[in-house]
Structure 1
Amino acid sequence: METTLALMPRFFGWADISAVVLFLVAWNGMTWLVENPPASRPSVHKIMAAHRLTWMQAMLHREPRIMDASLLNALRSGCAFFASGCMIAIGGVVALLGQADRLATVAHDLRLDTAMSRAGWEAKLLVLALVLVSAFMKFVWAHRLFGYCAVLMGAIGSDPADPRNLALARKAAAININAARNFNRGMRTTYFSLALLTWLLGAIPLALATLATVLSLYRREFRSASRDALLAEDEPPVPGS
């Protein structure tokens, strides 16, 4: 019996296999780099984690805490929005699984990948669906973690000097940071799912789209104007201004 590795070239060409390997390495590598950046150059994710801790500690001295509840509801709404979008995208990909013959016809008309079998087209769509499912699960888990954070925020008393309240605020911050980590992972997965969509055009478009996605994410996390603004030192107000 032939091994799976021996059967893969019959199902996909070596160019497709190489492009998918590049995609997986880039996807996981980017996640690792964003969440474990060098100390000398923190990512936006790391910078915002520190601000989330500051937020929960500042909440101790704020009464009433309507603004904090509103901010958390906005974060949960963002998770729900993207989770719903992933569900719609998954439904569209599943619907396309029954139209593999039409995809093959379109590819033939465009002279893209005329050698790809129906099973090959279906496999590409299935991989895309699985990536979207991964994004959906991350958004759902982030939504639930923000809910946990809301419970912890509600358990914090009104006395900022009480050490138990400070401990609860730190717990709420840790859950909030974890929720943001999963939300950001879901966002990156969504970006890479858009890159994976180009696989329908062939291996080279997938490789190029993967590299473009990596460059875009790197710029936003390490070289964006928003990052510079977060790291800018607070300047004292000018007298008389």
Structure 2
Amino acid sequence: MMPGLTYADLAALAWFALCAGGYSFATRHGLLAAKGMVRAINQQRARWMANMAARENRMVDVQILATLSRGNAFFASTAIFVTGALAALFGNAEELHTLANKVPFLRKTTLFMWQFKIIFLMGVFVMAFFKFAWAFRLSHYTAIMIGATPIASGENREECESHAVNVATLASLVGYHANAGLRAYYYGIAALGWFIHPAVFMLAMLWITAVLYRREYHSRAYRAISAGTL
């Protein structure tokens, strides 16, 4: 076993995998996939692209997509800054470890575990960067697909509707990866509790997952978005 790695730490890591991985699977492939914010917003994307195909001027659609992609670019760049800050902490891990072991409410641990926790956090935010960067790139592909959409008419209506479905599918992938990146931010914040105690980490993970579930399945925003799509 790694120096300083306790059964409590192993339980916290397993709980992290269960909460983050399990919730992601349940919302995409499991029992929660049949409803929720993701499904409702995907239905709205399908309606959006169907309306887009019927319009001759698609500038408003491109502008909406550009606004969304700027948000993904912001979070991707922020993830880089956070990762850089964590790398700086790793470079000074020995001094920080000595200081942290003097703080009464922080759980005393080995230098190796302190470094391991920093690397773990770096991994979470690196994943967030790749998710947001890919969502940003997919936004470009979606804009190109919008530009390639023919104007719906009596002769090519089926072709246009089929193309609009493909654009909506691509836009849904943008949302999926951006959502995964945002969840990585949430769980990364929860992982800060590990520096205090594994139990704090586990409670923070449970709380974050509960907040995500409420927002995606029982919030007023979900009811507003899903109105007329259920």
State the TM bucket, normalised to the shorter chain.
over 0.9
1:147 aligns with 2:140: yes
The answer (yes or no) to whether the contact 2:12–2:201 under 8 Å persists in 1 is yes
CA distance in 2, matches of 1:131, 1:48: 26
Measured on the aligned residues, the alpha-carbon RMSD in Å equals 1.7
Alpha carbons of 1:160 and 1:109: their partners in 2 closer, same or farther (altered >3 Å)? farther
| 1:9-37 CA-partner distances (Å, limit 9, x unpaired) | x3311111101110111000111122235
1:176 aligns with 2:171: yes
CA distance in 2, matches of 1:108, 1:126: 19
CA distance in 2, matches of 1:25, 1:79: 26
- Aligned residue for 2:101, secondary structure, equals helix
How many equivalent residue pairs? Answer: 226
**Other-structure match for 1:215:** 210
**Other-structure match for 1:113:** 107
CA distance in 1, matches of 2:70, 2:41: 19
The code of the aligned residue for 1:182 comes to H
| 1:45-70 CA-partner distances (Å, limit 9, x unpaired) | 11101111111111012231111010
**Other-structure match for 1:87:** 80
The structural deviation recorded for 1:103 is: 2.2
CA distance in 2, matches of 1:29, 1:176: 24
The structural deviation recorded for 1:199 is: 1.0
The code of the aligned residue for 1:43 comes to G
Mapping 1:1-241, distance limit 5 Å: 7-8=1-2, 10-36=3-29, 38=31, 42-111=35-104, 112-114=106-108, 116-161=109-154, 162=156, 163-233=158-228
Larger radius of gyration: 1
CA distance in 1, matches of 2:30, 2:18: 17
The answer (yes or no) to whether the contact 1:76–1:143 under 8 Å persists in 2 is yes
| 1:114-172 CA-partner distances (Å, limit 9, x unpaired) | 2x221211111001101111111011111111111111111112234413222221111
CA distance in 1, matches of 2:78, 2:33: 36
The code of the aligned residue for 1:220 comes to R
Where does the alignment leave 5 or more consecutive residues of structure 2 unmatched?
Answer: none
The structural deviation recorded for 1:109 is: 2.2
Alpha carbons of 1:89 and 1:40: their partners in 2 closer, same or farther (altered >3 Å)? closer
Alpha carbons of 1:99 and 1:183: their partners in 2 closer, same or farther (altered >3 Å)? same
The answer (yes or no) to whether the contact 1:60–1:160 under 8 Å persists in 2 is no
Q: Which moved more, 1:175-184 or 1:40-49?
A: 40-49
The code of the aligned residue for 1:113 comes to R
Q: Choose between structure 1 and 2 for higher RCO, CA contacts under 8 A separated by at least 6 residues.
A: 2
- Aligned residue for 1:11, secondary structure, equals coil
Q: Which moved more, 1:153-162 or 1:222-231?
A: 153-162
Alpha carbons of 1:46 and 1:37: their partners in 2 closer, same or farther (altered >3 Å)? farther
Alpha carbons of 1:148 and 1:98: their partners in 2 closer, same or farther (altered >3 Å)? same
CA distance in 2, matches of 1:25, 1:143: 28
The answer (yes or no) to whether the contact 2:72–2:178 under 8 Å persists in 1 is yes
